[in-house]
C-alpha cells in the first residue's frame, strides 16, 4: 500500500523556489543514461577525477581513529588552522582560525553568509551571468537579488560604470566570482581597482568574493586577490572549498573567511542548521590542504589540455561564439545566432540538443544570461570530441 498524506501547504518561500538547474539537468542526463541512451553529459561542474588517494587514505585512517562524532561547530581546530594558513599565504593577509568557519560545502557558506548579513529588503548586486545559486541564497535570506547584465564584448566582466549605475543606498552586498562560473572569466588587477574606486564612495557595501575556482586558472591568466586591492580588501568575505580543486565534490567541505564577528554569526547559524561539516570529510580536507599537491597540478594540466580541445572543436560549430575561459572548466557559448535563425529559447535549444544530439548542457537562462549554453569540460577528451561531432551534425559547421 502506498503511503497517503493530507495536503501540506508549502511556504511561499519553498513554493516559489526553482530547483538548481545545474543539478536538475545533471540528474536528467543521468536518468537518460540509465535508460541506455548514450548521452554525453556536459552539465554539472564536477571534476571527473577520483579524489586523490592520499586524501581517501587519510579519511579511512581518521574514521579508524574515531572521527565519527560531532566536531566543534566551526570545524576542527586543525582544519581551521590549515585554512587560515593557506589563505593567509594566498591573499597576503594574517588570518587566525577565528577568521574561518568550515561549512558543509561552499554552497552552505554562501547560504549562511546571506543569512548572517541580510535583512529583508537589503539589495545584493550580482553581475550576470552568475552561478545559479547566488540569487536564490539571497532571496532565501529575504534579500533582493539585482542582476547586472554583462555582455560577451566585455568578457562578461562587471565594469565600474555599470557598478556605479546600479549602486543605491539599499545595496548591502556585491557578489563577485573570479574566475567565474559559468563564463570562466577572471578579473585582472586594473578591473578590480576600478570597481574598488567606485565602491570607495559607498562605504556600506560589502563584497562576497567566491574563490572556489581560484586554483583552476590557465597559463595566460594571473589570479588577483581582492585582498591586494585597496578599498576592496577590507570589505571582502571569502568563500571557498575543496570540491573543485581536489575533486572532492561529494565530501561537502567548504569554508568562509572574514571578520571574526561575521564568522561567529555564521557559526551560530550553522550550529542550528547543520551542527558541523562531517568529521571524516574534515579530516580528508585537512590532508588535501596540507598533504602533497601534485594531484592538483596533474588535474590542472588535464583541464588545460581539455580547454584547448573544446575551444578548437566547438569553435567549428555553426552559430557558436565564446570567450576563451581564464579559469574554471566551463565553455560558455553565445548561441543567439542559432536562436535568431531557428527561433525558440536557449532552454528549448538545450532540450533539443539533449534529445536530438544526446548532448547535455545547461541553458544560460538560469545563469541570468538567455541566449547561451554552458558546457562543462570536466569530462574526457572522447566525450568532448563526440559532443562536438554530434553538435556539428545537428547545427552545422562554422564557415570561417
Ligand atoms: N561557487 C561556485 C561558483 C560554484 O560553481 C560552486 C559549485 N558547486 C560552489 C560555489 C560551491 O561548491 P561546493 O558547495 O561543492 O563547495
Ligand atoms: N557548481 C557546479 C555547477 O555549476 C555544481 C552544481 C551546483 O552546485 O550548482 O555545475
Q: Using one digit for the tens of pLDDT, what is the confidence trace for 352-371?
A: 999 999 999 999 999 999 99
Is 379 within the bounds of a domain?
A: yes
Q: Do residues 101 and 24 share a domain?
A: no
- For residue 7, give the DSSP letter: P
Q: Do residues 105 and 251 share a domain?
A: yes
Using the 3D structure, point to which of 242, 270, 290 is the last residue of a domain.
290
Query: Which atom in ligand 1 lies closest to the alpha carbon of residue 241?
Result: 16
Whichever domain contains 355, its CATH number is: 3.90.1150.10
Is 60 within the bounds of a domain?
A: no
| pLDDT tier, 399 (very low <50, low <70, confident <90, very high otherwise) | confident
Is 59 within the bounds of a domain?
A: no
For the CA of 210, the nearest ligand? 1
Percent of the chain with pLDDT over 90: 97
Q: Do residues 192 and 227 share a domain?
A: yes
Q: Which of 108, 181, 217 to mutate to test the pocket of ligand 1 (most atoms within 8 A of CB)?
A: 181
Average confidence (pLDDT) over 45-64: 97
Average confidence (pLDDT) over 95-104: 98
Q: Which of 21, 129, 131 to mutate to test the pocket of ligand 2 (most atoms within 8 A of CB)?
A: 131
Ligand 2 centroid distance, CA of 156 (Å): 19
Residue 318 pLDDT greater than 70, yes or no: yes
Ligand 1 centroid distance, CA of 212 (Å): 6
Whichever domain contains 169, its CATH number is: 3.40.640.10
Q: What is the pLDDT of residue 49?
A: 96
3-state secondary structure of 103: strand
Ligand 1 pocket at CB < 6 A: 45, 105-107, 131, 177, 181, 210, 212, 241, 243, 249, 254
Average confidence (pLDDT) over 216-241: 95
Please give the order of strands across the beta sheet that includes 321-322. Answer: 321-322, 330-334, 372-376, 362-363
For the CA of 208, the nearest ligand? 1
Instruction: Give the total residue count for the chain.
Output: 400
Q: What does pLDDT average to over the chain? A: 96
Q: What are phi and psi of 331, to 5 degrees?
A: -110, 115
Query: Which atom in ligand 2 lies closest to the alpha carbon of residue 133?
Result: 9
Q: What is the pLDDT of residue 265?
A: 98
Ligand 1 centroid distance, CA of 398 (Å): 33
Beta strands per DSSP E along the chain: 40-41, 100-103, 123-128, 144-149, 171-177, 206-210, 236-241, 254-257, 321-322, 330-334, 359-360, 362-363, 372-376
Is 267 within the bounds of a domain?
A: yes
Ligand 2 centroid distance, CA of 249 (Å): 10
- By the 10 Å C-beta count (0-12 exposed, 13-18 middle, 19+ buried), 31 is classed as exposed
Q: Do residues 316 and 189 share a domain?
A: no
Is 400 within the bounds of a domain?
A: no
Ligand 2 centroid distance, CA of 230 (Å): 31
Q: Do residues 298 and 286 share a domain?
A: no
Q: Do residues 245 and 121 share a domain?
A: yes
Euclidean distance between CA atoms 234 and 161, whole angstroms: 22
Number of domains in the chain: 2
Torsion over CA of 73, 77, 82 and 87, rounded to 10 degrees? 50
Q: Do residues 79 and 195 share a domain?
A: yes
Ligand 2 pocket at CB < 6 A: 20, 22-23, 44-46, 107, 131-133, 181
Q: Whose CA is nearest to atom 5 of ligand 2?
A: 45
Task: Compare 149 and 220 and report the one with higher pLDDT.
Answer: 149
Q: Do residues 153 and 252 share a domain?
A: yes
Average confidence (pLDDT) over 246-261: 98
Domain holding 177, by residue range, is 66-290
Query: Which atom in ligand 2 lies closest to the alpha carbon of residue 107?
Result: 8
Q: Which of 104, 209, 238, 244 to mutate to test the pocket of ligand 1 (most atoms within 8 A of CB)?
A: 244
Ligand 2 centroid distance, CA of 380 (Å): 18
Q: What is the pLDDT of residue 400?
A: 67
Average confidence (pLDDT) over 145-159: 97
Using the 3D structure, point to which of 268, 290, 312 is the last residue of a domain.
290
Is 191 within the bounds of a domain?
A: yes
Condensed to tens digits (0 to 9), the pLDDT of residues 284-316 reads 999 999 999 999 999 999 999 999 999 999 999
- Asked whether the beta carbons of 128 and 179 are under 8 A apart, the reply is no
Query: Which atom in ligand 2 lies closest to the alpha carbon of residue 23?
Result: 6
Is 7 within the bounds of a domain?
A: no
Q: Do residues 279 and 298 share a domain?
A: no
Q: Do residues 130 and 263 share a domain?
A: yes
Using the 3D structure, point to which of 236, 267, 290 is the last residue of a domain.
290
Is 227 within the bounds of a domain?
A: yes
| pLDDT tier, 1 (very low <50, low <70, confident <90, very high otherwise) | confident
Q: Do residues 273 and 377 share a domain?
A: no
Q: Do residues 269 and 155 share a domain?
A: yes
Residue 158 pLDDT greater than 90, yes or no: yes
Condensed to tens digits (0 to 9), the pLDDT of residues 108-151 reads 999 999 999 999 999 999 999 999 999 999 999 999 999 999 99
Amino acid at each position: 500500500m502506498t503511503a497517503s498524506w493530507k495536503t501540506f501547504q508549502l511556504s511561499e518561500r519553498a513554493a516559489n523556489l526553482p530547483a538548481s538547474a545545474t543539478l536538475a539537468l545533471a540528474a536528467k542526463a543521468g536518468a537518460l543514461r540509465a535508460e541506455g541512451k548514450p548521452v554525453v553529459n556536459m552539465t554539472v561542474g564536477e571534476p571527473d577525477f577520483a579524489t586523490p588517494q592520499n586524501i581517501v587514505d587519510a579519511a579511512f585512517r581518521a574514521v579508524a581513529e574515531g572521527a565519527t562524532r560531532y566536531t566543534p561547530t566551526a570545524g576542527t581546530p586543525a582544519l581551521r588552522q590549515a585554512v587560515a594558513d593557506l589563505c593567509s599565504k594566498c591573499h597576503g593577509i594574517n588570518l587566525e582560525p577565528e577568521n574561518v568557519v568550515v561549512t558543509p560545502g561552499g554552497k552552505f557558506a554562501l547560504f549562511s553568509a546571506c543569512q548572517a548579513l541580510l535583512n529583508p529588503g537589503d539589495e545584493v548586486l550580482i553581475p550576470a551571468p552568475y552561478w545559479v545559486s547566488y540569487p536564490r541564497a539571497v532571496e532565501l535570506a529575504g534579500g533582493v537579488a539585482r542582476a547586472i547584465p554583462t555582455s560577451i564584448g566585455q568578457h562578461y566582466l562587471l565594469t565600474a560604470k555599470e557598478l556605479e549605475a546600479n549602486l543605491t543606498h539599499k545595496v548591502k552586498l556585491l557578489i563577485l566570482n573570479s574566475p567565474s562560473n559559468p563564463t570562466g572569466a577572471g578579473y585582472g588587477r586594473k578591473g578590480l581597482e576600478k570597481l574598488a574606486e567606485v565602491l570607495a564612495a559607498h562605504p556600506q557595501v560589502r563584497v562576497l568574493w567566491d574563490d572556489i575556482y581560484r586554483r583552476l586558472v590557465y597559463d595566460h591568466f594571473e589570479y588577483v586577490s581582492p585582498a591586494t586591492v585597496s578599498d576592496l580588501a577590507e570589505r571582502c568575505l571569502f568563500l571557498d572549498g575543496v570540491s573543485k580543486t581536489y575533486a572532492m565534490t561529494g565530501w561537502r567541505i567548504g569554508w568562509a573567511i572574514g571578520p571574526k564577528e561575521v564568522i561567529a554569526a555564521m557559526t551560530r547559524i550553522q550550529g542550528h542548521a547543520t551542527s558541523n561539516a562531517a568529521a571524516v570529510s574534515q579530516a580528508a580536507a585537512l590532508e588535501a590542504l596540507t598533504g602533497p599537491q601534485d594531484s592538483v597540478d596533474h588535474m590542472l594540466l588535464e583541464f588545460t589540455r581539455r580547454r584547448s580541445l573544446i575551444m578548437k572543436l566547438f569553435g567549428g560549430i555553426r552559430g557558436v561564439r565564446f570567450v576563451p575561459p581564464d579559469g574554471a572548466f566551463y565553455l560558455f557559448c553565445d548561441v543567439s545566432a542559432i536562436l535568431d535563425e531557428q527561433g525558440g529559447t536557449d532552454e528549448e535549444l538545450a532540450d533539443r540538443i539533449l534529445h536530438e544530439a544526446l548532448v547535455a548542457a545547461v541553458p544560460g537562462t538560469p545563469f541570468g544570461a538567455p541566449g547561451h549554453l554552458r558546457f562543462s569540460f570536466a569530462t574526457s577528451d572522447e566525450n568532448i570530441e563526440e559532443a562536438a561531432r554530434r553538435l556539428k551534425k545537428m547545427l552545422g559547421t562554422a564557415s570561417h
